Structure 1
Amino acid sequence: MHNVPAFGYPTPPASPSYDDQKCTYQHPFAIPAVCQPRYPVRPEDRLGKFLGDSLQLVGILGTGAYGVVYTAVDIRNGTRYAVKTLSKYNADGSPLDRRQIAFQQRELRLHYLASAHPNVVSMFKIVDDPDCTYVVLEYCPEGDLFFNITECGQYVGKDDLSRSVFLQILDAVEHCHTLGVYHRDLKPENILVSNQGATVKLADFGLATSSDRSEDYGCGSTFYMSPECLDPSARRPFYYCAPNDVWSLGVILVNLTCGRNPWKQASFEDSTYRAFTRNSSFLKTILPLTDDLNDILGRIFERNPDHRITLAELRERILACPQFT
């Protein structure tokens, strides 16, 4: 869960294939029954490594708690790919336990299920290795949506582009929901960009679930969590994942149109969110929103998830909105 501000905020393939014979989808995390602790390979030590006969790791795109993402090139034709590594070992050298392995398997399974959609990053191949699993993914050279909003200034003040990009994200999320996949970590950092900012693709299914309800309170990134996800003391023993994803889309919509977050977190501890719950027009006093967009955000940021706007309704409202800011 991220607590570092992502934005400023107001104050007051076609179907992927598993064609590597060494890698079957059912067993991408095979670890020997007797396994001595071993320390993870340094990311730079993998540079130059070949996956199969022609795919070579040539650069490091990023590192995280669960692995490294590399740039890879198919030396036969120069095609670039992103390759995500999922380590089979913890930082102390101990092998992952069954629960950790199950989480990694879930991430691959759900991403694979969703990846045929044009606005989901394509998954091409899984390659098994003794210390990690390599996931060969579509390469998006322009980085993530966060970078394109904050550093490139791609979207703020450009209603047509913002509308197109937001609808692409919405389509990807609706596709996932239709398949019974709920992302639970929708945010600009998990959306990749190509085609000079005009095309976006949903990525990183590390927190995704196939259950339509969750007891994992605090799952995701704080700025993008719904109030029911943040509050384990709520009356219900669980929250529904679909409305939680819709809430996250609302924050992304504010990011795209205004270049900032509406609040730090959707709880009464946050003075901005508290003011919004008392006055549905409050966001208009701190953000350059039109009445139409303010009304849409009011439907998205409905505190009761049972009354929150659906994805189908949201698409209609976005298409009908003449101006965002």
Structure 2
Amino acid sequence: MNITPPASPKPTCTLQPSDRLGEILAGQYQLTEILGVGAYGVVYKAIDIHNGVTYAVKALNRVGLEPRQHSFQQREIQLHYQVSQHPSIVSMENILESPDCTYVVMEYCPEGDLFSKITEEERYIGNDELARSVFLQIIEAVEYCHSVGIYHRDLKPENILVKDGGMTVKLADFGLATKDYWTSDFGCGSTFYMSPECQETNPQPMTCYLSAANDVWSLGVILVNLTCGRNPWKRASREDSTFRAYMKDRNFLKTILPLSDELDSILRKVFEPDARRRCSIVQLHQMILNCPRFTKTSIVAPPSPPYSPVEPVQEVFAPYVPAQQACEYQQSLATHFSHLNTGVAPAAKAVQAPSKARSFAASPFMPTQPKMPTCGPQAYFSSVLPWCNNFIPNLSKHATFIPPRVF
């Protein structure tokens, strides 16, 4: 049963985000820079005054929240906290509470996200071993989440941060994560990465789908992004001409993308429309380890130049279509990441440094206008969970309380 999520909170405090700059939290973390501002809070860059280590601090507003809104915040923090010890997941270093804010101290990744590395730097296309290494890190992070009963539900390059020149990746943004093995939250996530079953527009009562299988589908799209610099389709729906062609001929992707036979075989198992027959994440992990090569010798270069989401640009990550098929699949050539297609800003990056080329996207709490119906208030704040009836543990045993501020 879907439950309508709470709306964004109404402003109840005149305190400006910049008013906290210079403040030292718990005698340790000094807030030095604003990385993003949104409806529910602010993300700051912070320095540990004792050792000089840089962190990202997400300041979540606690004033004037309804109980359900507070539960949403707690649940995202709790799920991220449960898996943050994994080396390929952004680590959560500390949780601090004050009367007006919950401060989440996290690992800081100044190099941005995987999306930028793919589209602006073309870091992985044609480099099979680097693409394999990065994708295995992503798989291991998601596999670990699944092993403890947590499903991300918004896997995409924008939610994967990079370090070490793009060689190390970290899964981030658990705003849509769930512990529900079966879920009825249709339209949850980002359209380009949703499985067909997730996009059911008129589901029957009591209908649900597998959260894990939906994550596996998303991983398949990310794999195409990494290896080919493109999306396979705009959406995995009969309304999309490229996806219809794939449903008619499962060998179709190999005719429009420079896939090796081995990778094409893997993708057919990942892009299995029947979720019950789709490969598991464990099987996908093993297939990637055993895949001798990802792409053909001749690689189709991704579109250029880099773009800024605030300006009209030529769309990126469009599926490659041979000239003789251009008419039939002309509409699919417009395929790119969802925030370009719909005017939606990229999802929240609580630990991402702002990018000059994507300054509009740097706000980690940018309000959005999703094209697809969504299952949670991420339409207003990208790091909030859909409502769930599961018990939400109290964070107080993990948190350090900060005394009230005096103004």
Matched, 1:270 2:244: no
Provide closer, same or farther for how the CA distance between residues 313 and 79 of structure 1 changes in structure 2, counting only shifts above 3 A.
same
Deviations 1:271-292 (A, max 9, x none): 1111111111111122111111
The corresponding residue for 2:100 is 131
Provide closer, same or farther for how the CA distance between residues 64 and 257 of structure 1 changes in structure 2, counting only shifts above 3 A.
farther
* Aligned partner of 1:233 among 198, 202, 217: 202
> What residue identity is the alignment partner of 2:188?
C
Q: Report if the CA contact (8 A) 1:185-1:208 is conserved.
A: yes
Cα distance in 1 for residues equivalent to 2:154 and 2:41:
17
Q: What is the number of residues matched between the two proteins?
A: 285
Q: Report if the CA contact (8 A) 1:40-1:131 is conserved.
A: no
Q: Report if the CA contact (8 A) 1:191-1:202 is conserved.
A: yes
Once the two structures are superposed, the pairs formed by residues 105-184 of structure 1 within 5 Å of their partners are 105-184=74-153
Cα distance in 2 for residues equivalent to 1:37 and 1:117:
36
The corresponding residue for 2:269 is 299
**CA RMSD of superposed structures (Å):** 1.7
Cα distance in 2 for residues equivalent to 1:217 and 1:103:
18
* Aligned partner of 1:80 among 45, 54, 65: 54
Pairwise CA distance, 1:203? 0.8
Matched, 1:45 2:19: yes
The corresponding residue for 2:70 is 101
Matched, 1:322 2:292: yes
The corresponding residue for 1:16 is none
The corresponding residue for 1:224 is 193
Provide closer, same or farther for how the CA distance between residues 64 and 305 of structure 1 changes in structure 2, counting only shifts above 3 A.
farther
Cα distance in 1 for residues equivalent to 2:270 and 2:59:
35
The corresponding residue for 1:68 is 42
Q: Secondary structure at the match of 1:103?
A: helix
Q: How high is the TM-score relative to the length of structure 1?
A: 0.84
Q: Secondary structure at the match of 2:242?
A: helix
The corresponding residue for 1:282 is 252
Provide closer, same or farther for how the CA distance between residues 322 and 312 of structure 1 changes in structure 2, counting only shifts above 3 A.
same
Cα distance in 1 for residues equivalent to 2:154 and 2:115:
14
* Aligned partner of 2:225 among 251, 255, 262: 255
> Please, which moves more after superposition, 232-241 or 45-54?
232-241
Cα distance in 1 for residues equivalent to 2:266 and 2:36:
35
Q: How high is the TM-score relative to the length of structure 2?
A: 0.67
Deviations 1:206-237 (A, max 9, x none): 11111111111111111111111111435671
Q: Secondary structure at the match of 1:100?
A: helix
Pairwise CA distance, 1:65? 4.8
Task: Report % sequence identity.
Answer: 61
Cα distance in 2 for residues equivalent to 1:60 and 1:290:
44
Deviations 1:98-142 (A, max 9, x none): 222111111111111111111111111111133321100011121
Gaps of 5+ in 2: 1-9, 296-407
Q: Secondary structure at the match of 2:173?
A: coil
The corresponding residue for 2:175 is 206
* Aligned partner of 1:56 among 30, 42, 45: 30
Matched, 1:196 2:170: no
Cα distance in 1 for residues equivalent to 2:37 and 2:108:
16
Pairwise CA distance, 1:204? 0.8
Pairwise CA distance, 1:265? 0.9
Q: Secondary structure at the match of 1:76?
A: coil
Provide closer, same or farther for how the CA distance between residues 153 and 42 of structure 1 changes in structure 2, counting only shifts above 3 A.
farther
Pairwise CA distance, 1:40? 6.2
Gaps of 5+ in 1: 1-35, 90-94
